Amino acid sequence: MPDTPMITIEAVNKFYGIYKALDDVSLDIAAGEFFSLLGPSGCGKTTLLRSIAGFDTPSTGDIRIDGQSVIGTPPNRRPTNMVFQSYAIFPHLDVEENVAYGLKRLKLDAAEERRRVEAALEQVRLGHLGKRRAHELSGGQRQRVALARALVMRPKVLLLDEPLSALDKKLREEMQVELRSLQKAVGITFILVTHDQYEALALSDRIAVMFGGRIAQVATPKEIYQRPTTRQIADFLGGMNFMKARITGETATRLSVETPRFGDVTLDKPLGFNARNGTATIGIRPERLRVLWDDARADFELAGRVVDRHYFGEITHLIVDVPGMEQPLSVSETNNFGADDIPVGDAVRLAYDPDALVALSD
């Protein structure tokens, strides 16, 4: 990370009466980073974004953009621009006028303004729709107008409030790819608010997961997914098999546990870990368990019986009962080897990699 972060959030609290919307949030976001705030609704992610934009004011704490504190600076004087969830396209103006809206204040000469509007519309591939009104545009097109209208201002930071949530699945996936390449092209710091974990994983350089006004973990998508620090984070980011394990040894950074069927393993200790009655919660993602076919062997195996099967097209979820484990294991198998044909009731052997196990705080 460069020396001066583009955004510094320092010990920010936000109270609405006795309700704490933001609880001691501190965060650094680097210049040029694609950063996501991920969490369920009501977790404070939107409040944090709106505080950066200037629409909400922190009760205590400081927000600095490019080294400058922006507390007390109104939204119209902040070097940020926002893409609103509803897109907020001005209905009385056409696409070009929408994009030129903010430029009018800059009093550019007409040719320069025209050039910047056209460049911004080209950037989002809307060059041909300049004269359309908002109600003549599709959802995806409105989203592009909102992007162009913000980017044309050349902000230091672009804020995106659930920008893809109103689009259908296929369009959303297309826009994700486009958003990512757009960010690479313009090199501006993007901060995305989303409740969609796949969106955050696919787009971000780093993700902050938020629950109840607090930041639970900040890490790269891969780390957040593979090494979540708490059970709540693991759960929010997709399926995970949880089990209780007895702690046999503990250092400052490592944890040795005796698991029911995964043997004795030593794992990284998550930040803020507290042992409960000498046990820890251990997790393994369903796709890190693999069915062993016929005579195939693996270094680490466990045996069980298929008790249920869920078909999802490209994958199948097998629910495997393993003797000695409290909960049956969920196993995610791609369908190219015939996992969708394993009859319920059959015995199966599963392979795993002990490195895939993670210790979690409750």
Partner 1 sequence: MSGRHGIPKSRWLPAYVAIYLAFLYLPILLLPIFSFNNAATTTFPLAGFTTKWYASLWHNTALLEAARNSMIVGVSVAILSTVLGICAARAITRYRFRGQRAATGLIMAPLFLPEIIFAVSLLMIILQLGVELSLVTVILGQVIFCLPYAMSVLISGFGGFDRSLEEASLDLGETPIGTFRRVTLPVVAPALVSSLLVSFTVSLDEFILAFFLSGTEPTLPVYIWGQLRFAAKLPGVLALGSVMILISILLLTLSEIIRRRAEHRLRAQGALHA
Q: Which amino acid is at 268?
A: D
**Considering beta carbons, is residue 89 or 319 the nearer one to partner 1?**
89
- Joined tokens for residue 236: 């929010």
Q: Which of 80, 183, 204, 259 binds partner 1 (CB under 8 A)?
A: 80
Cβ 105 to partner 1, closest distance in Å? Answer: 5
Under rule CB under 8 A, how many of the chain's residues touch partner 1? Answer: 32
CB of 40 closer than 8 Å to CB of 195? yes
Kindly report the three-state secondary structure assignment for every residue of 303-314.
Answer: EEEEEEEEECCC
Q: Which of 21, 153, 164, 210 binds partner 1 (CB under 8 A)?
A: 153
CB of 264 closer than 8 Å to CB of 257? yes
Q: Does position 170 bind partner 1 by CB under 8 A?
A: no
Residues 116-135 that bind partner 1 (CB under 8 A): 133-135
Residues 238-257 that bind partner 1 (CB under 8 A): none
Q: Does position 31 bind partner 1 by CB under 8 A?
A: no
- Provide φ and ψ at 45, rounded to 5°: -65, -40
**Considering beta carbons, is residue 82 or 215 the nearer one to partner 1?**
82
Q: Which of 17, 18, 105, 251 binds partner 1 (CB under 8 A)?
A: 105
Which residue is it, tokens 């902000």? 155
**Considering beta carbons, is residue 78 or 285 the nearer one to partner 1?**
78
- Joined tokens for residue 94: 């056409």
Q: Which stretch binds partner 1 (CB under 8 A): 39-47, 147-155, 246-254, 291-299?
A: 147-155
Q: Which stretch binds partner 1 (CB under 8 A): 48-56, 187-195, 227-235, 310-318?
A: 48-56
**Considering beta carbons, is residue 118 or 340 the nearer one to partner 1?**
118
Q: Does position 102 bind partner 1 by CB under 8 A?
A: yes
* Residue closest to 36 by CA, chosen among 182, 210, 166: 210
Q: Which of 41, 76, 251, 277 binds partner 1 (CB under 8 A)?
A: 76
Q: Which of 30, 31, 71, 88 binds partner 1 (CB under 8 A)?
A: 88
- Measure the CA–CA gap between 177 and 184, rounded to whole angstroms: 11
Secondary structure letter of residue 134 according to DSSP: G
Q: Does position 169 bind partner 1 by CB under 8 A?
A: no
Q: Does position 75 bind partner 1 by CB under 8 A?
A: yes
Q: Helix, strand, or coil here: 125?
A: coil
- Can you say how many angstroms the Cα of residue 177 is from the centroid of all Cα atoms in its chain? 15
- Provide φ and ψ at 150, rounded to 5°: -80, -45
Kindly report the three-state secondary structure assignment for every residue of 220-250.
Answer: CHHHHHHCCCEHHHHHHCCCCEEEEEEEEEE
Q: Which stretch binds partner 1 (CB under 8 A): 53-61, 187-195, 197-205, 259-267?
A: 53-61
Cβ 55 to partner 1, closest distance in Å? Answer: 6
Q: Using DSSP bridges, classify how beta strands 206-211 and 34-38 pair: parallel, antiparallel or unpaired.
A: parallel
- Can you say how many angstroms the Cα of residue 257 is from the centroid of all Cα atoms in its chain? 30
Binding site for partner 1 (CB under 8 A): 53-55, 74-77, 80-82, 84-92, 101-102, 105-106, 133-135, 139, 142, 149-150, 153, 166
